[in-house]
Amino acid sequence: MTPPAIRKGMQRDIASGIFITVFIYAISLHLPLIGIFFALFLPLPILIYRIKLGRNAGGIIVVLSSAAMIALVGPFTMDIVFFIELLVIGFMLSEFAEMNLSVEKTILYASLAVLATSGVGMLLFSSFNQIGITALLSDHILKSLKLTVAIYEHMGVSQQALNDLSNSLERIQYVLVRIVPALAIGSTLFIAWANLLMARPILLSRKLFYPNLGALNRWKAPEALVWGVICSGILLLIPEKGIKMIGLNGLIVFMTIYFFEGIAIVSFYFEKKKLPKIFRIGLYSIIALQQIVCLLVIGIGFFDTWLNFRKIDARPQETV
């Protein structure tokens, strides 16, 4: 039988986990433009408290946090499905992390589990609303685009720019609906990767379990993935729209993976040059905010297959 003091401490931790999760969710709702960045942190408290308290208590936090999130927005919507899946990412990451798998398997298995539950959730949601998944996604994306236009209008964006954006909504909607698979896979991989990294200093500082993932700044993508990029590029050159979209979906997913390798290379040289943390934070922020710099990082990751920027095979591996 669990002693009352321990039971009370666990209840307090569960309440804290729910409060932090719902608080992050509330912030993401009330900050229209930067709210999405706060939403990326939603898996983090689930991951930390699941590792600290165990599977049952972690599951309680996920369920009660989901119920509180639904209560905040009222009717069950597509948005709430997305936010709940973020909680599932945190839970599944902790499940596979405790198995001490490689970083690739931890992120891949957690992402596959989340994508599977997302697919089931989408099917149930579309069935409940008696509307096809494609139509459901199309309607949701159009509403989001119109909301974006309204936000830009309140921000004082020029009328000409607003008109150009409004006139392009149908074309943007057409493309976005057809690259939803790649966006779902890429975003799930990225969120899982980011939260696993962010959890490390928190868990270690509290002397909690963290998987032995090795020196992540020496990580390399499997060389065979290069052929996936090449094939996706070839498909983009074919005039048929359906085939082009398959190529575009593939390219987005592979770009996400090579972004991870590019960031690993950047981190490797930050460590090698012993740059102060304040400079590292600034440079990472530039990578996150500047699309051209982000593409450069992806390019570095891709060409590392041939150029081996870190000379990993030329000397013994160092730990970080």
How confident is the model at residue 315, as a pLDDT? 45
Q: Do residues 199 and 49 lie in contact, with contact meaning Cβ atoms separated by under 8 Å? A: no
Q: Where are the alpha helices (DSSP H) in 218-240?
A: 225-236
The reported pTM is 0.88
Q: Do residues 125 and 80 lie in contact, with contact meaning Cβ atoms separated by under 8 Å? A: no
137/241 same-domain check: no
153/205 same-domain check: yes
194/169 same-domain check: yes
161/19 same-domain check: yes
173/242 same-domain check: no
Last residue of a domain, one of 152, 176, 210: 210
Q: Do residues 87 and 42 lie in contact, with contact meaning Cβ atoms separated by under 8 Å? A: yes
How confident is the model at residue 318, as a pLDDT? 44
Last residue of a domain, one of 210, 245, 263: 210
Q: Do residues 285 and 248 lie in contact, with contact meaning Cβ atoms separated by under 8 Å? A: no
Q: Do residues 296 and 265 lie in contact, with contact meaning Cβ atoms separated by under 8 Å? A: no
- Reduced to 3 states (helix: H, G, I; strand: E, B; else coil), residue 54 is coil
Q: Is 131 left (phi over 0), alpha (psi -120 to 50) or beta?
A: beta
The Cα 26–Cα 23 span in angstroms is 5
84/140 same-domain check: yes
How confident is the model at residue 111, as a pLDDT? 95
The Cα 86–Cα 91 span in angstroms is 9
For the chain (length 320 residues), average pLDDT per consecutive 10?
Answer: 62 94 89 77 95 94 93 76 90 94 93 91 80 82 81 76 82 89 94 93 92 88 93 93 93 95 94 89 88 93 92 53
Q: List C-alpha distances in Å: 279 to 271, 274, 285, 286.
A: 12, 10, 10, 11
Show the domain range for 277: 214-320
Overall domain count for the chain: 2
222/187 same-domain check: no
14/76 same-domain check: yes
Q: In terms of Cα–Cα distance, which of 65, 117, 69 is closest to 89?
A: 117
Last residue of a domain, one of 210, 243, 265: 210
